[in-house]
Amino acid sequence: MIRLEAVCRTYRLGDQPVKALDRVDLDIDAGAYVSVMGPSGSGKSTLLNVIGLLDTPDSGRYQLEGREMTCLDEEARAAERNRRIGFVFQAYHLIDRLSARENIELPLVLAGMAPSERRPLVDDIVDRLGLTERAGHLPRQLSGGQRQRVAIARAVIRKPALLLADEPTGNLDSHSGAEVIELLEELNDQGITLLVVTHDPNIGRRAGRRLRMEDGRITADRSGTETGDALR
Amino acid sequence: MRPLDAIRLIGRALLSARLRTFLTVLGIAVGIAAVSLLTTVGAGLQLYVLDNFSQFGSRIVAINPGKTQTGGIGGLLSSTRPLSLADAESLRPLPFVERVVPVVQGAGAIEFGRRVRHTDIIGGNGELAAAWRFEVAQGRFLPVVSGNSQPFAVLGAKVKRELFGESPTLGQFIRVGGERYRVIGVMAPKGQMLGFDLDDIVYIPIDRALALFNRTGLMEIDVTYRPGIDAKTMADRIRDRLIQRHGVEDFTLTTQDEMLSTLDRILGLLTVAIGAIGGISLLVGAIGIVTIMVTTVQERTAEIGLLRALGATRRQILLLFLGEALLLAIAGGLCGLLLMGLMLGVLALAIPALPISPSPFYLVLALLLAAIVGLVAGVSPAWRAAGLDPVDALQQE
């Protein structure tokens, strides 16, 4: 589903060029649950941004669902993001003057869907994520866990094939964090491809496939459960 | 994105910062109010002045002695012949001519009993009232005569009031410049024209006025003509006739058309000029929009990044922020028109004579102006918002 071939991405930090991605090759199957771990500045977020079409590689090829993404222009990439990719951020990134419901609705609004078509979709997701009572509240009236649930609802309202989560539990206590991870895994069980970038080994370990990044390269790529590894 | 959704999003953004929105709207409102108020007052003033001038009717040609031009050998050739009563009479047979009014004007003491008033004295003939569209309130105007006239006088409304008060006036004898005249009529009040009081005048027959002021020539001949001929042709015919009599063109013709169009041009220019002064305050309002939009884009950088991640195109971001500036400006425009309405109301109470009527055309134009100001002011910040890199924008807190 995701195929990266020799993808490079270099930033300039002051005068220093920083290789955030250094000839990265990666294949991810549809429906996979992948975690990406590694120290700060290892290129995890850049990898996520390239896969999420927010960032463009300097060289190399990127295919999403069998379609070439490297040659798309900015407006086409925006359309792809809207249709195929959901984002969950550490800082939630909810718009604080809009209610939970309106935040969830945003991708549909941007896509130009009619209000009558939007309503059942939003009702459905709000119901599924147990946000019904909170749907009319503003983000600041919600707890951290609830805010992240709203953000997840927004990420999946368009039923994307790919869900990208960048430190989704970073701002949450362990209890809310566990709930959020469980929700993400539940969505993964329903067929969505899930990619989680995290610092937390307890969370990283839960994924079916675990990548480790250092200095812009993938240095470890393990599959199977942790216990399975131990047995091997 | 659907336009209605876009408007809703923009509206929510503006309403979430009420004070800031209000102040920005106020800035534009003051600008629009200033521009539209000043141009409306200017246009009203223009109408007022033109009205004043055209109250004599528009089909009128004035002939004055002397020619305003620079001659050759100074003095020797500039022998201006005065305009005589005979000159005036010679114009009467010309086609289309309706009335011919010879005029001299002077000032003198008017006495009735023991009261004395110094007023303007106008010498004219029996056609003067009709030619100038002045109305008689009591009695009649000077009779139309050929040859020598009788010592009759007609009083302006103010002169009548000052000299006679409410007592009967017709048939009374007054002294004009020492000579005895019988009052045969009183004019209806006419008001002022550019500060000249048209009611503070005594009318006497032209031949007696010439003698009274000891003049050989007329100060002016006014010719009115019937419809069916344009002002220029009429003026040409009058000029030909007088050149026949005088040999040279030693007089000046002024048609009402010419005078009105010149005046119209000057006043129109003046209106534009004061409108431009109002435009300065609109410019300040526009700078307010730019300031607020630049701040807004900076504050909402993370939000812009988010919208981009959710699939908003650059174009959509551009339109959202441009729409915000536009909405601010249009709201300002509407408030400005409201403000102008209030000020016009006050002005109408203060100076009732000024004919001020804001035309719908100008109101629409003012709103359009506000919209253009919003677009121009919003373009640069919106462009900046649309050009943000989504990855950088998302990292902004």
Q: Is A98's Cβ below 8 Å from some Cβ in B?
A: yes
The backbone torsions φ and ψ at residue A29, rounded to the nearest 5 degrees and listed phi first, read -80, 155
Identify whether A175 is part of a domain: yes
The chain-wide mean pLDDT, for chain B, equals 88
What's the whole-number mean pLDDT along residues A93-106? 95
Query: Which of A129-133, B28-32, B206-210, B359-363 is the least confident region?
Result: B359-363
More confident position, B46 or A225: B46
For residue B30, pLDDT over 90 is answered with: yes
pLDDT digits (tens, 9 = 90+) for B156-211: 999 999 999 888 999 999 999 889 999 999 999 988 776 788 899 999 999 999 99
Q: Total structural domains in chain A?
A: 1
Q: Chain A contacts of B394, Cβ < 8 Å?
A: 54, 89, 93
Residue B26's pLDDT band (boundaries 50, 70, 90)?
A: very high
Q: Chain B contacts of A11, Cβ < 8 Å?
A: none
Contacts of B11 (CB under 8 A, 6+ apart): B327
Please report how the helices B314-350 and B18-53 are oriented relative to each other, as an axis angle in degrees rounded to 10.
Answer: 50
3-class state of residue A191 by DSSP: coil
Residue A225's pLDDT band (boundaries 50, 70, 90)?
A: low
pLDDT, residue A231, reads 38
- For residue B3, the distance in angstroms to the closest alpha carbon of chain A comes to 9
Query: Do the chains contact at A98 and B12, CB–CB below 8 Å?
Result: yes
Query: In whole angstroms, what is the distance from residue B59 CA to residue A180 CA?
Result: 90
Query: In whole angstroms, what is the distance from residue B345 CA to residue B5 CA?
Result: 38
CATH number for position A79: 3.40.50.300
Q: Chain B contacts of A91, Cβ < 8 Å?
A: 302, 397
pLDDT, residue B237, reads 93
Contact pairs from chain A to chain B, CB under 8 Å:
69
The backbone torsions φ and ψ at residue B182, rounded to the nearest 5 degrees and listed phi first, read -100, 135
Q: Give DSSP secondary structure letters for B178-232.
A: TEEEEEEEEEPP--EETTEETTSEEEEEHHHHHHHHT-SSBSEEEEEE-SSS-HH
Instruction: Evaluate whether B63 touches B242 at the Cβ level (below 8 Å).
Output: yes
Q: Is A78's Cβ below 8 Å from some Cβ in B?
A: yes
Q: Is B302's Cβ below 8 Å from some Cβ in A?
A: yes
Q: Chain A contacts of B9, Cβ < 8 Å?
A: 109
| Helix residue ranges per DSSP H, chain B | 3-16, 18-53, 85-91, 128-132, 157-164, 206-213, 231-246, 256-299, 301-309, 314-350, 360-387, 390-395
- For residue B9, the distance in angstroms to the closest alpha carbon of chain A comes to 9
pLDDT, residue B202, reads 94
For residue B134, pLDDT over 50 is answered with: yes
pLDDT digits (tens, 9 = 90+) for A123-170: 999 999 889 999 999 999 999 999 999 999 999 999 999 999 999 999
Domain that holds residue A208: 32-57+73-231
- What is the number of alpha carbons within 13 Å of residue A101 lying toward its C-beta? 15
Q: Is B387's Cβ below 8 Å from some Cβ in A?
A: no
pLDDT digits (tens, 9 = 90+) for B72-98: 544 445 556 788 999 999 999 999 999
Identify whether A1 is part of a domain: no
Identify whether A47 is part of a domain: yes
3-class state of residue B71 by DSSP: coil
More confident position, B44 or B110: B110
Longest Cα separation, chain A:
54
What's the whole-number mean pLDDT along residues B124-138? 89
Six-digit token string for A65: 């669902």
Q: Quick check: ipTM above 0.85?
A: yes
Query: Do the chains contact at B394 and A52, CB–CB below 8 Å?
Result: no
pLDDT, residue B68, reads 61
Q: Is B391's Cβ below 8 Å from some Cβ in A?
A: yes
Instruction: Evaluate whether B48 touches B362 at the Cβ level (below 8 Å).
Output: no
| Best residue of B300, B310, B392 to probe chain A, by most A CBs closer than 10 Å | B310
pLDDT digits (tens, 9 = 90+) for A178-196: 999 999 999 999 999 999 9
Query: Do the chains contact at A109 and B305, CB–CB below 8 Å?
Result: no
Q: Is A97's Cβ below 8 Å from some Cβ in B?
A: yes
Identify whether A214 is part of a domain: yes
Identify whether A64 is part of a domain: no
pLDDT digits (tens, 9 = 90+) for A34-75: 999 999 889 999 999 999 999 999 999 999 998 999 889 999
